[in-house]
């Protein structure tokens, strides 16, 4: 018989505001899913990622315009695309800590860029098999650890981002699951896992699609 190519890996996205518990949930998933890897966006290790890091830590002077930083966040995803696709077709499951949905939500929340403008540079990237949104009111998030010094880590900004994320969930294709991230870590873990099992099943039976 002809050797069969390996089943593709799944593309799973964890989204949420700063301090919603994304990193914890990503590493729990990674431990639970064989042959899986976490990819964090922004990936600050690349040259584009370093520009993004400078912007977030206010080290770029004068600061980049809203358009410029928005396009860099997207370019940071496009530069990783070949390695993401190679991993998926080799059967590796990718757990993304943020993706285009953070890209749209944070940039729209700043007030000057339209929704359509913000989503357009990401059109053509792979569509996730499942998107899990860890929902946490910003006041609860602030109590958890207090915001750090990075740009966007302000209460009013986080409130706006949370609002835009609601629109994103209504408008963006893909299988969305909202998990109340104020529940205990164990409860959140179980709900995230239930959504992930669905995504893993979906990925076994369906080809990878592109964001339209």
- 8 makes contact, choosing from ligand NYM, Mg ion, none, with CB < 5 to 8 Å by partner type, with none
- 56 makes contact, choosing from ligand NYM, Mg ion, none, with CB < 5 to 8 Å by partner type, with ligand NYM
Residue 152 vs 193, nearer CB to ligand NYM: 152
Measured in whole angstroms, the distance separating CA 190 from the mean position of its chain's CA atoms is 19
Q: Does 98 contact ligand NYM by CB under 6 A?
A: yes
Q: Does 176 contact ligand NYM by CB under 6 A?
A: no
Contacting ligand NYM within 48-67 (CB under 6 A): 56
Cβ within 8 Å of residue 171, ≥6 positions away: 115
User: Looking at 18, 97, 122, 129, which residue binds Mg ion (CB under 5 A)?
Assistant: 18
State both tokens at 70: 């928005």
Whether 97 contacts 28, CB under 8 Å:
no
HEC profile for 139-206?
HHHHHHHCCCCCCCCCHHHHHHHHHHHHHHHHHCCCCEEEEECCCCHHHHHHHHHHHHHHHHHHHHHC
Q: Does 73 contact ligand NYM by CB under 6 A?
A: yes
Residue 73 vs 133, nearer CB to ligand NYM: 73
- 9 makes contact, choosing from Mg ion, ligand NYM, none, with CB < 5 to 8 Å by partner type, with none
In whole angstroms, how far apart are CA 110 and each of 66, 123, 185? 8, 21, 31
Binding piece for ligand NYM, criterion CB under 6 A, among 84-92, 96-104, 185-193, 199-207:
96-104
């Amino acid at each position: 018989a002809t050797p069969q190519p390996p089943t593709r890996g799944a593309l799973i996205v964890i989204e949420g505001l700063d301090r919603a518990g994304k990193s914890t949930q990503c590493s729990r998933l990674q431990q639970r899913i064989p042959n899986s890897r976490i990819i964090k966006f922004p990936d600050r290790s690349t040259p584009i990622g370093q520009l993004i890091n400078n912007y977030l830590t206010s080290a770029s002077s004068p600061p980049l315009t809203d358009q410029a930083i928005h396009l860099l966040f997207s370019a940071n995803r496009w530069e990783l695309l070949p390695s993401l696709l190679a991993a998926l077709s080799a059967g590796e499951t990718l757990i993304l800590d943020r993706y285009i949905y953070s890209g749209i939500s944070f940039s729209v929340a700043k007030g000057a860029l339209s929704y359509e403008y913000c989503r357009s540079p990401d059109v053509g990237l792979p569509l996730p098999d499942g998107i899990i949104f860890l929902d946490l009111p910003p006041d609860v998030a602030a109590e958890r650890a207090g915001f750090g010094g990075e740009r966007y880590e302000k209460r009013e900004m986080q409130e706006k981002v949370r609002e835009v994320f609601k629109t994103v969930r209504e408008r963006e294709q893909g299988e969305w699951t909202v998990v109340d991230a104020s529940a205990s870590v164990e409860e959140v873990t179980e709900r995230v896992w239930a959504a992930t099992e669905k995504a893993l099943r979906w990925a076994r039976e369906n080809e990878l699609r592109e964001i339209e």
